[in-house]
Structure 1
């Protein structure tokens, strides 16, 4: 009988290691798993990262939600998803705790366990890591899921890395909606559009000083008319300015809706979120 392409064998694991999966940083990182390596329920995502400039391999809506959280944080400088943890270590932990190690039943191959996110963070001159496992709360009621999470928890404790479980209860829904609204507009198509977006920022700052009660949507319409732009062009720039944090929401738990936001409910910064990361964060 032909094996499924999702079946794990020692040959397949060796092939993945040879390909360099689980190694690299930023745009050079290769996740252990891609959306093509696991059965899909139609909820996988491949957003381009603000920090890494590469397509990320996210296997669920909840992973996407937490990815947005990491993207928004100014402390996070690199995001590595589907990160493989050392199989010899997890086998040792499994034995010590008398917990069955995950394995491929058809081939009796111990599976390389993964952590959903390993994020590199910077606070001042300090570099540190956080590991996060993403699980819907209903799965946390499954004893077998909890056993595998205990192996993972112990692995990261042994490495001195903070580890935690993230479920849907701790991820604000409106925050997710806001980031979904702006995320893909972090980069604009051309340098001319980037310059125009900064002209619009100056326009908004000046308007806020003179007419702080104005609706954002009215400023958008005025700017489109002033520069003879297609209707709605300024909405495009708004999403970019939010993504770059030239406009910083007072409260990310409130919707980013230009027709409801007044200028006095916005905070502006000329610097924006312009951190530039090289090929290494070591």
Structure 2
């Protein structure tokens, strides 16, 4: 397991090394986030989220709020690439903006050395433009220092021609997004399940009509038996159907297999 980057007592030479490694990853197509979950201790819930489009790859989220927003970004059809913890490497420019705005530039902890500004998410749109997403707890928005950092981020993005979006946790901590996390593992199917998915969905939709008041888990098992697959495989197929929108449920209710399709408002749109 790789060690985390040193973030306390960082020297200028070490900062340069970190930035060069980041830029090397960008230029070679082997992107590595500038900040990783192992680099910091955090009061928030950090985690690595599997990339549904690239088996074996994962995203480093530094808070639960970032995880919620990442799941939302996955499903945005206008976005073709997402990079998390993206460093703005032009330190001279960010420092000049901070000076002009009369804002103290971010520094390493217990140090006077300026640190590179990192964007929570740096997205490439299908139009070719870029979108920077910053995720913050609503309770932090009254803090002057938070406001300063956000102003500095937005000013840099405006100068680079990036679209800028500030997202608050109150906007993304919804049951609908929790349900998306619950079905994320079904975003991408293996070849075997991909082939049987249409037949499985036909059987599952039949059981929706036939057994609307039975637990969802019973329908999953019935569909498994009808398609000669395991319960786990049938469950993964159900997750996929919800992820791609063939199945939908009440966005205000937790999607749990012990509840009935009738209670959850499950509908098939195929």
Tell me the TM-score normalized by structure 1: 0.79
| Deviation for aligned residue 1:21 | 4.7
Secondary structure at the residue paired with 2:51? coil
Query: In the alignment, which residue of structure 1 is the partner of 2:95?
Result: 91
- Which residue pairs with 2:171 in the alignment? 170
* Higher share in helix: 2
Could you tell me how far 1:108 is from its partner in structure 2?
2.1
Give 1:175 deviation, angstroms.
1.9
The residue correspondences of 1:144-163 to structure 2 (distance < 5 A) are 144-163=145-164
Q: Distance in 2 between matches of 1:71 and 1:99?
A: 34
Aligned partners of 1:234, 1:217: CA distance in 2, in Å?
A: 10
- Deviation readout 1:166-215 (Å, 9 max, x if unpaired): 11111142122111111123234x4223333332123235667x759676
- More deviation in 193-202 or 177-186? 193-202
Report if the CA contact (8 A) 2:79-2:124 is conserved.
yes
Instruction: Name 1:130's counterpart in structure 2.
Output: 131
- State the Cα distance separating 1:38 from its structure 2 match: 1.9
Do 1:212 and 1:264's aligned partners in 2 also have CA atoms closer than 8 Å?
no
RMSD of the TM alignment (CA)?
A: 3.0
CA distance in 1, matches of 2:140, 2:27: 30
Are the counterparts in 1 of residues 46 and 63 from structure 2 also a CA contact under 8 Å?
yes
Relative distance call for 1:207 and 1:118 in structure 2 (3 A) is same
| CA distance, structure 1, for counterparts of residue 170 and residue 199 of structure 2 | 40
SS of the counterpart of 1:47?
Answer: strand
CA distance in 1, matches of 2:162, 2:25: 18
Change in CA separation of 1:151 and 1:22 when aligned onto 2, cut-off 3 Å:
farther
Q: How high is the TM-score relative to the length of structure 2?
A: 0.82
